[in-house]
Structure 1
Amino acid sequence: MLRIISALLLAATTATATADDGPPLVSNPPERHIVVPGDTLWGISGKFLQQPWRWPEIWRLNKEQVANPHRIYPGDVVVLDLSQGSPQLKLAKPLTPARLQPQVYSEPVRSSIPSIPTNVIEPFISRPLIVEAGDLDKAPRILAAEESRVLIGAGDLAFVKGMQHDDIEKWQIFRPGKPLKDPENGQVIAHEAFFLGDARLIQGGDPAVVKVVRAKEEITRGDRLVPTPPQTIITYAPHRPDSEIAARVMSIYGGLNEAAAGSVVSLNRGSRDGLEIGHVLALFRKRNAADHDQDGRRTSTALPEQRYALVFVFRVFERVAYALVMESSRPVIVGDAARNP
């Protein structure tokens, strides 16, 4: 298999390079790294670069490649080459050529290394999440369960009213969730759909019959079904937005009050504002300190804004985007600003 990554890993900067020249190397970078399952491009780059999200700049990807970066695989060896004067990252070549012998080759399918951890964001890639007000009201709904059950679980049959697509086999089950309010003005700009499970069409008609193949939560009458969308693999490389983005953290997925590295947050900006998959944004917090003047009256003083986290945008809707917190020095809270890094 042709190792297409060789065209990707190009010139890196020196350890003393300035921000204008590109991201500097870390102190005492390793000579090589053997790629293992579970690695990410962000993580591998962090072994060599002080700012790992900027690896597309170091490896000089053009705009088309940023939208669909080359891949590397477990077993590949990334080496730091200093022989050309400026550091380069490249794949190590085999020490000796393989001996050619007549034989039948069987090469297993290898999973490429993703840009960021996919185990956290996979559920958010394959599920709609955001719906306009009233959209789920038009979707097929569960009318009843077999044997008059109230709750439906994995392996149970359910009768569905309003299903007009007998040619679609795989469905997802949702329940209308909470409204998402813009922290800047309190306006409801979208609704989250609460994912309940997966179902498979057994028999068409009205009502139709489906079998619940997976139940993440308890399913009951009135819950809605939407066709399962094709899964999209996130291969976009991290990069700065082309235009200035001024967003705010709108919610923390799961109803939590605070988020940390590895958490998913929603932002009050989307595709219409210029956000796209792969954008990296920095989080900032601005707060006030209580004080008293000479007369003892309570006052409030604005403190300098502090940058404390980076997020990777991995799913974008028209007015809302979801981002994964990649690194953070303090808890993320609703209302914090998200802007170009």
Structure 2
Amino acid sequence: MPAARPAPLAVLAACLTLATNVAWAQASKLPITAEQRRVADQVASAGVPLSELAPNAPDSHTVVAGDTLWDISKLFLKSPWRWPELWGMNRDQIRNPHLIYPGQVLMLVKSDGRARLQVGQSVGGANGTVKLSPQMRISALENGAIPSIPMHLIQAFLTDAVVFDTDELARAPRVVAAQEGRVLVGSGDLAYARGDFGSNTDFRVFRKTRPLIDPTTKEVLGYEAPYVGTAELIRPGEERPSPDGKSMEVVPATLKIQQIKQEVGVGDRLAPAPQRDLEQYMPHAPEREIKGQIAAIYGEAMQAGQNQIVALNRGKRDGIERGHVFALWRNGESVMDKTERPEGQLIKLPDERHGVLFVFEVYERVSYALIISVKEPVKAGDRFTQP
């Protein structure tokens, strides 16, 4: 029995994944940029050229738990960051890429040198036949919609890491003593601090900041603060007359240490805990040319590989956005050409593209990116360009 042919687009429109009003309202808050829509509109009517498909693009793919839009794009397209084109293959059905769910079947339909995706449901059949059937699915966004990239790789970082435009932590409240005279304290212990706490009660604790330096201009781009943990202010400090009434004595504020990444020590600084936006991140190319360099590897490492974090020497002021994708380049080596003369001639080999970066956090002059793929170790000073 031959496999069933995909139904006409007009019929397949009934296969839309329908979310509740709440789910759609939530989805509408997720970032879909003008550039993403432009690309999707561009390919929606005609599809994608077959030359842009991955060499082993499958005829169909059933979305499973753990999939990401990046994973699915990688199955069908040569460049997974070009997800808007995958979405645009059938804009009528994939109205919102944030609302693709496990269990949906994506069918790759090829005709006249073009390719489109159609959405259906695997209903079984003889000899592995896959059919497309009208399907209504009502589901809240947070109940299974697949993410854009593997969020577990960056979620902890979004909570922990921060860059300050100035070295404001030098003037922030500081831990001055620990419970029972200890040098370091852990979760549940008390610590004592001095400084201006304002009206805040929840704080993140940081160790001494390190400046992020532009590899070329040597400009200080910001101050990266190593995260230590969190603390709650349970009793404010005060100044009160000494028992003899001849002077004032300082009583520091009391903190209770909450979650920790490492033990809190005297000298650590406190900053109010902000509200973090753990929104979906949709890969897309910058609308204009942006290039720069790796400013630093996050943490103590000198080099980084796949799924590690790097700081870029470009930020909001340079047009960087969350979701931007960049190509990583390896500098060409200098070698001696001895093919024409015995003494040789020093030449520089061409730079080679060897990886992909995905920006997920942006500050004024610096941003953080996840290394999605890479062939060789990445180090500070390596450059990035348009993808």
Q: State whether TM-score is above 0.5.
A: yes
- Partner letter of residue 318 of structure 1? E
SS in 2 for 1:304: coil
The change in CA–CA distance for 1:190 and 1:296 in structure 2 (over 3 A counts) is farther
| Alpha-carbon separation, structure 2, partners of 1:233 and 1:78 | 27
Answer yes or no: is the 8 Å Cα contact 2:211–2:223 preserved in 1.
yes
Determine if the alignment matches structure 1 residue 338 to structure 2 residue 384: yes
| Alpha-carbon separation, structure 1, partners of 2:118 and 2:237 | 58
Alignment map for 1:176-255 (pairs within 5 Å)? 176-206=208-238, 207-255=252-300
1:101 is matched with none
| Alpha-carbon separation, structure 2, partners of 1:127 and 1:150 | 23
| Alpha-carbon separation, structure 2, partners of 1:108 and 1:284 | 37
| Alpha-carbon separation, structure 2, partners of 1:267 and 1:170 | 29
Answer yes or no: is the 8 Å Cα contact 2:70–2:148 preserved in 1.
yes
1:132 is matched with 165
Stretches of structure 1 that go unaligned for 5 or more consecutive residues are 18-22, 62-68, 99-104
1:59 corresponds to which of 84, 87, 93: 87
Q: Considering fraction of residues, name the structure with more helix.
A: 2
2:327 is matched with 282
Cα shift at 1:197: 0.5
Deviation digits for residues 139-162 of structure 1 (CA, Å, limit 9, x no counterpart) = 111121121111111111112212
Larger Rg: 2
Cα shift at 1:40: 1.5
| Alpha-carbon separation, structure 2, partners of 1:32 and 1:231 | 34
Cα shift at 1:133: 3.8
Answer yes or no: is the 8 Å Cα contact 2:165–2:364 preserved in 1.
no
Determine if the alignment matches structure 1 residue 78 to structure 2 residue 105: yes
1:64 is matched with none
Deviation digits for residues 245-300 of structure 1 (CA, Å, limit 9, x no counterpart) = 12011111122222111011111111111111111000112233231667765753
| Alpha-carbon separation, structure 1, partners of 2:68 and 2:140 | 23
| Alpha-carbon separation, structure 2, partners of 1:107 and 1:271 | 33
SS in 1 for 2:83: helix
| Alpha-carbon separation, structure 2, partners of 1:210 and 1:329 | 46
Determine if the alignment matches structure 1 residue 175 to structure 2 residue 207: yes
1:322 is matched with 368
Determine if the alignment matches structure 1 residue 88 to structure 2 residue 134: no
The change in CA–CA distance for 1:138 and 1:158 in structure 2 (over 3 A counts) is same
| Alpha-carbon separation, structure 1, partners of 2:163 and 2:227 | 11
Answer yes or no: is the 8 Å Cα contact 2:326–2:384 preserved in 1.
yes
- Partner letter of residue 24 of structure 1? L
Cα shift at 1:238: 0.9
SS in 2 for 1:44: helix
Determine if the alignment matches structure 1 residue 162 to structure 2 residue 162: no
| Alpha-carbon separation, structure 2, partners of 1:330 and 1:91 | 38
Answer yes or no: is the 8 Å Cα contact 2:47–2:88 preserved in 1.
no
- Partner letter of residue 74 of structure 2? G
Answer yes or no: is the 8 Å Cα contact 1:142–1:161 preserved in 2.
yes
Cα shift at 1:226: 1.0
2:68 corresponds to which of 25, 34, 40: 40
The change in CA–CA distance for 1:201 and 1:111 in structure 2 (over 3 A counts) is farther
1:269 corresponds to which of 311, 314, 324: 314
| Alpha-carbon separation, structure 2, partners of 1:78 and 1:272 | 41
Alignment map for 1:300-311 (pairs within 5 Å)? 300-311=346-357
Percent identity for Structure 1 against Structure 2:
36
RMSD: 3.2
SS in 2 for 1:47: helix
| Alpha-carbon separation, structure 1, partners of 2:327 and 2:140 | 41
| Alpha-carbon separation, structure 1, partners of 2:170 and 2:289 | 36
Answer yes or no: is the 8 Å Cα contact 2:337–2:347 preserved in 1.
no
Q: Choose 249-258 or 202-211, whichever is displaced more.
A: 202-211
Answer yes or no: is the 8 Å Cα contact 1:114–1:234 preserved in 2.
no
The change in CA–CA distance for 1:298 and 1:213 in structure 2 (over 3 A counts) is farther
